[in-house]
């Protein structure tokens, strides 16, 4: 009842009500665009291809379900996410980008501009690659696509441009939500697409697989509880600020803390690991039927090694997720430059010398608590393997990665609403 009353309080406030309704309106607009199909698509062949390809299922999740119908926004926001990750990884390697990252809002605006520019060619290349996969399947999903032929160049080029424009349209909608709505717009777009697919899958399981639906409900509840526990988990490092006297006034002297999260990397390691792990099999599949017998034999061997039904694949997946969690967490933490910022503002950790000693201490603590987050993400990654092996379910209604996204988006959005309510002297949602 408390949550319902607080939700009503949020809706009674005119500015919060406007933000909530604006967010819902943008989601409706995106879902309408997700149902506008590209011309010349074989729907039956497309459905069969998605049932047999895990990478396409992952990309379909990031497109909000638009890729499985191959709509005008089929690429979704995935190219933008890729561009954002690339820009984050390039900042420590390229000094001008690193300087921009330390220039406050102006520098961040410039980095965002570069990210948008990079998104356009990435969206075009992703469109070409995706269509190539579709055309080379046993039953072509799209026919007469060839950018190198004079007869088909114009319609093929128009298809690529349309899909790239659809990505930028989806990114624009997401940024509108971030600016004028509630929550992170890009995450909300992905969240809406995942949730929109649930009723259809539940209805299908109610007709054909009730034991599997019950098993998913139990596993889903346990997984959600674990995600919330890890997502909210943090180690609080105490920080003390020294007193400074200016004229007749004394500044500083207060105590605070640095919250180091158990899972600082979010779902990024899952994206990295799954994309890299599936990539060799996708490339090798192009050469399975090559005229050269040696090339065909090697390609078939690679495809069999990276078969998603083998336990070797899932063990490798687990190891890569753990490794990428440490890698990405370290990259993000180094960009924050906490030891230098603490020293600059007169802060210190009690019992630890400022500077290099503080950096070593924070790195040591972060690596210890990241072990829990890394092992958890690895377990989330291989959860579908255990689900299909030990339960009546062959596929989950929502993938484990999807559950991680949904729970994370809900928690972040609730925190934003919580902050808005507390600013207006209302009780918040969270306790």
| Domain map (residue ranges) of the chain | 1-197+409-431, 208-397
Q: Which residues of the chain have pLDDT under 50?
A: none
pLDDT, the chain, mean: 77
Task: Assign domain 208-397 to its CATH superfamily.
Answer: SecY subunit domain (1.10.3370.10)
> pLDDT for 68-91, tens place per residue?
777 888 888 878 888 888 887 788
How many whole angstroms from its chain centre is CA 322? 16
pLDDT computed for residue 100 by the predictor: 83
CB 350 within 8 Å of CB 291: no
Tell me, rounded to whole angstroms, the distance of Cα 310 from its chain centroid.
26
CATH number for domain 1-197+409-431, candidates 1.10.490.10, 1.10.3370.10, 3.40.190.10, 3.40.50.1950: 1.10.3370.10
- Give the distance, in angstroms, between the CA of residue 268 and the centroid of all CA atoms in the same chain: 6
How much is the pLDDT for 176? Answer: 92
* Helices within 233-310 (DSSP H only): 268-285, 293-305
Same CATH topology for 1-197+409-431 and 208-397: the answer is: yes
Give the span between the Cα atoms of 140 and 31, in whole angstroms.
26
Q: Which residues are 251's β-sheet partners? A: 244
């Amino acid at each position: 009842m408390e949550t319902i009353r607080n939700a009503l309080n949020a809706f009674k406030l005119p500015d919060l009500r406007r933000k909530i309704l604006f967010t819902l309106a943008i989601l409706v607009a995106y879902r309408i665009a997700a149902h506008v199909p590209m011309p010349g698509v074989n729907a039956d062949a497309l459905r069969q291809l998605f049932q047999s390809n895990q990478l396409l299922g992952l990309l379909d999740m990031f497109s909000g379900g638009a890729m499985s119908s191959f709509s005008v926004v089929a690429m979704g926001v995935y190219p933008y996410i890729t561009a954002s990750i690339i820009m984050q990884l390039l900042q420590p390697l390229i000094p001008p980008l690193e300087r921009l990252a330390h220039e406050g809002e102006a520098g961040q605006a410039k980095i965002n501009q570069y990210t948008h520019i990079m998104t356009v060619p990435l969206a075009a290349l992703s469109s070409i690659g995706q269509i190539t996969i579709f055309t080379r399947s046993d039953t072509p999903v799209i026919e007469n696509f060839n950018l190198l032929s004079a007869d088909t160049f114009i319609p093929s080029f128009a298809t690529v441009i349309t899909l790239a424009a659809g990505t930028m349209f989806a990114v624009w909608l997401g940024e509108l939500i971030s600016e004028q709505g509630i929550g992170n717009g890009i995450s909300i777009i992905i969240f809406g697409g995942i949730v929109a697919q649930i009723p259809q899958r539940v209805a299908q399981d109610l007709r054909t697989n009730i034991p599997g639906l019950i098993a998913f409900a139990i596993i889903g509840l346990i997984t959600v509880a674990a995600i919330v526990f890890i997502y909210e988990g943090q180690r609080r490092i105490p920080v003390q600020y020294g007193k400074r006297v200016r004229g007749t006034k004394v500044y500083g002297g207060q105590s605070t803390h640095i919250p180091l999260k158990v899972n600082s990397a979010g779902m990024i390691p899952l994206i990295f690991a799954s994309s890299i792990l599936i990539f060799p099999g996708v490339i090798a599949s192009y050469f399975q039927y090559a005229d050269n017998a040696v090339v065909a034999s090697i390609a078939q061997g690679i495809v069999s090694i990276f078969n998603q039904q083998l336990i070797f694949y899932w063990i490798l997946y687990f190891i890569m997720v753990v490794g990428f969690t440490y890698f990405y967490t370290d990259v993000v933490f180094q960009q924050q430059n906490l030891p230098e910022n603490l020293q600059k503002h007169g802060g210190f950790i009690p019992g630890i010398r400022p500077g290099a000693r503080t950096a070593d201490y924070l790195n040591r603590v972060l690596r210890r608590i990241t072990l829990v987050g890394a092992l958890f993400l690895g377990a989330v990654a291989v959860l579908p393997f255990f689900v299909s092996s030990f339960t009546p379910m062959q596929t989950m209604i929502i993938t484990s990665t999807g559950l991680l996204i949904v729970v994370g988006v809900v928690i972040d959005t609730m925190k934003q609403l919580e902050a808005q309510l507390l600013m207006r002297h209302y009780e918040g949602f969270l306790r």
